Amino acid sequence: MDAVDTRASFALDIQGLNSLKKGRDQGEQLQAAAEQFEALFLHQVMKSMRDAVPRSGLVDSSATRFYESMYDQQLSTHLAGRGLGLAEQLVSQLSQSASTGKTE
């Protein structure tokens, strides 16, 4: 069975977590989960950056905030798919602790 590419997926895909478990070995599952964590981390960073910028009354509406949030989610998924290094560090750290049996 072919592995599903989580880097090209839609950011709001609810079924993405279920696809992590299907048809993959433990290493592929770990890589996919690390990539999704990287996307989530990037989204939180972008959300914090947006919250830090003062808003003017002209473009500040609930619709604007909604679409900015959707854009930030999709952009964070795209950036994580390109790889910033966080996912690779998580995989190497978790692979080492899994192979030695540590639960730190």
First and final CA of the chain: distance in angstroms?
33
Q: What is the pLDDT of residue 71?
A: 92
How high is the pLDDT of residue 67? 93
- Give this prediction's pTM: 0.70
pLDDT confidence of residue 49: 92
Taking only the tens of pLDDT, the chain with its 104 residues reads: 344 455 556 555 656 666 666 666 778 888 888 888 888 899 899 999 998 988 888 878 889 889 999 999 889 888 888 878 888 898 899 888 777 765 55
The amino acid that residue 82 corresponds to is R
Q: Which parts of the chain are beta strand (E)?
A: none
